Amino acid sequence: MNEIVQFVAGNPEAALGILGGALALLLLLVLYLLSAVSSLKSRYNTMMVGAESGTSIEKMLLDHIAETRQVAEENAKLREENARIDALLKTALTRVGVVRFSAFQDMGSDLSYAVAMLDAKNNGVVFSSIFAREDSRTYVKPIEGGQSKYTMTKEEEQAVKDAIASAE
């Protein structure tokens, strides 16, 4: 420390030159920092106020949070509705099998038919219509678990099998 004091006492002009240079360097550093802070402040203000819309980022974030909550509520309602529809579809007659056939040798064109309509648990009905020259007959048999407690014709059985296979 004594050496610095002796140097300054012996060379005041050099000491002033060094201090002046350091002062100029510090002044340039302060000007650069002021410019950088000004640029950052301008960018910050633009971000907080909004460049074009005039909406602050804080308001935008709050709006997005509210919108996200609303979407979450709507999704919950849609999930409930989807579950309700799934339950309803399990009871709907969605499996269908159709078999056309000629009930009598002298009748062509497969005018007789058997139609099975089943739900997801293979419960439903099978309709049969036997077409003859003089009359037609229609039958309906309940189906539970893919079977009927009534005797079925081979065409009715095939219609039930086709209906069950249509789900796969």
At residue 97, the pLDDT reads 96
- Cα of 163 vs its chain's centroid, Å: 32
At residue 108, the pLDDT reads 66
Residue 102: how many CB atoms within 10 A of its CB? 13
At residue 53, the pLDDT reads 63
For residue 93 the two structure tokens come to 């007659």
Q: CA 6 to CA 135: how far, in whole Å? A: 136
Q: CA 106 to CA 109: how far, in whole Å? A: 10
At residue 102, the pLDDT reads 86
At residue 156, the pLDDT reads 96
Mean pLDDT by 10 residues, the chain (168 residues): 82 85 94 94 76 69 93 97 92 93 77 94 95 88 96 95 90
The most distant pair of C-alpha atoms in the chain lies apart, rounded to whole Å, by: 141
Name the 3-class secondary structure at 143.
strand
At residue 116, the pLDDT reads 97
First to last CA, the chain: 96
HSE, side-chain direction, 13 A CA sphere, residue 165: 8
In this structure, which amino acid lies at residue 112?
S
Where is 157: in which H helix or E strand? helix 154-165
For helices 2-10 and 12-49, angle between their N-to-C axes, nearest 10 degrees = 110
At residue 107, the pLDDT reads 65
Tell me the domain boundaries of the chain: 2-42, 50-89, 95-165
Name the 3-class secondary structure at 120.
coil
Q: CA 115 to CA 11: how far, in whole Å? A: 118
At residue 62, the pLDDT reads 87
At residue 3, the pLDDT reads 85
CB 88 within 8 A of CB 119: no
Partners of 138 in beta bridges: 129
